[in-house]
Amino acid sequence: MRKLALFSLILITSGIFLSGCTQKATTNPGEINVGLGDSIIQGIVNYFDKPTNQSANIKVTLIPESEESPLNLDSYYVITGNNGSYKFQNIPSGTYLLLAQDVNKEYQPANLVITVGENEVKTSEMMILTKVIKHVIIFRENSSAWSQAGVPTTVIGDILSSIGMTEGTGQNQYEYRELNIENPNLDFNLGNLVIIEGDQPQGFYDVYTNNKNAFDNFVYNGGTIFWIACDMGWENGNFSSTLPGGVSWRDAYENYNDIVYFEHPITKNFPAQLYGNYASHGGFNNLDSINISNLMVYVKENYGDGSSQYPTYIEYRYNMGKVLATTTPLEWYVVNGPTSCPEGYTTTYKDLFKLMLVRSLRYIMNLDVSPDIPPSAEEVYSPKIKTNLNSHK
């Protein structure tokens, strides 16, 4: 099992605050003098639906990436004042995770990774907290989402049911909607989570493209979308448009994906590399040239197209809203995939991908995400990778 930094043992997301943190006395709200270095990280965090001068009571925690950092002996946080500003003074140089959480737990957390040099003052991108999810809308066609591979069309709803939701149109409920119909229902509220399932037919992607402004505006104004951007599967649908904010991907089938950031709740305690037949269907290839912010890369291609290895799982902010997007066919792995295990693990690659899907949904919905990796219940026939497994293409 990969050795984890000490701080990874206490990182909890989505409305569960970090324990064992230290807030040192300060005369200015949102500021703390750590006294362990000569660098400064500062920034601003706001609520998406409040005036910027009503940004009090946001807890911002500074978490070092390196296990060698002296900050690992403690964790430091501040509580913002009305202007939403925060400042960590006299910290060691290095790479840090900034985690912003609403003290009253009415908003989703925001996070970003930032690197500061010695004797440097670094101002982070603005972070914005969006509303906690109260209703989920799942877009998929009835006969799609890997149904030919034995994946139930209710795969996402089944997971949501396991965490206490029921099917319906009210709060704490989820509903399914189709796109490739006459007058599709594109009515969203900012308390909704919109999920776009993978492996959809061409007609689905065409209707999305024709109505992309509705989805773009939803995120722009503070909504949240989880886009399983895995086209060119068994349904042969080819998505040629862009995600909110203009994000695109280039097609490339990849069996090996590398974890980029190990301390996020979605990838906590995962092995350094994941394996599966076509573990990703492409890589996000224009992230440096579009108007998005708070970009976090969780997973990337190992080989890609031979010349570029692009991210395959990302989180970013587009104006006021949030997008999580992956090119991995996460639904397919709920019932399919390699039954071999990474070295040092008793969990199969298949179950690791399924766990990634479950964690993703819990993270987006501001629920506790356990860092544990449960062992697979099925018999593991070999700790080594097998290459003669059935493909989902």
Tens digit of each residue's pLDDT (9 = 90 or more) over 84-93: 999 999 999 9
Q: Are residues 238 and 288 in the same domain?
A: yes
Q: Are residues 121 and 251 in the same domain?
A: no
Q: How confident is the model at residue 255 (pLDDT cuts 50, 70, 90)?
A: very high
Token readout for 357 is 């899907």
**Is 392 among the domain residues?**
no
Q: Are residues 195 and 285 in the same domain?
A: yes
Q: Are residues 171 and 117 in the same domain?
A: no
**Is 232 among the domain residues?**
yes
- For CA atoms 157, 260, 84, 92, the dihedral sign is positive
Crossing angle of helices 155-162 and 349-364, rounded to 10°: 70
Domain count, the chain: 2
Q: Compute the mean pLDDT over every residue in the chain, rounded to the nearest whole number.
A: 87
% of the chain at pLDDT higher than 90: 71
Specify whether the backbone of 8 is left (phi greater than 0), alpha (psi in -120 to 50) or beta: alpha
Q: Are residues 48 and 173 in the same domain?
A: no
**pLDDT score, position 98:** 92
Say yes or no to pLDDT of 57 above 80.
Answer: yes
Q: Are residues 311 and 243 in the same domain?
A: yes
CATH for 248: 3.40.50.880
Beta bridge partners of 181: none
Say yes or no to pLDDT of 69 above 90.
Answer: no
Beta bridge partners of 64: 96
Q: Are residues 38 and 117 in the same domain?
A: yes
Contacts 24+ apart (CB under 8 A), 237-242: 237/144, 237/199, 237/200, 237/201, 237/202, 237/203, 237/204, 237/205, 238/202, 238/205, 239/200, 239/205, 239/208, 239/209, 240/205, 240/209, 241/205, 241/208, 241/209, 241/212, 242/212
| Mean pLDDT of all residues in 374-392 | 52
**Residues 206, 215: Cα–Cα separation, whole Å:** 14
CATH for 49: 2.60.40.1120
**pLDDT score, position 28:** 78
Say yes or no to pLDDT of 50 above 60.
Answer: yes
Tens digit of each residue's pLDDT (9 = 90 or more) over 172-228: 999 999 999 999 999 999 889 999 999 999 999 999 999 999 999 999 999 999 999
Q: Are residues 340 and 202 in the same domain?
A: yes
pTM comes to 0.84
**pLDDT score, position 393:** 47
Residue 149 lies in domain: 135-364
**Is 371 among the domain residues?**
no
Say yes or no to pLDDT of 72 above 80.
Answer: no
**pLDDT score, position 21:** 55
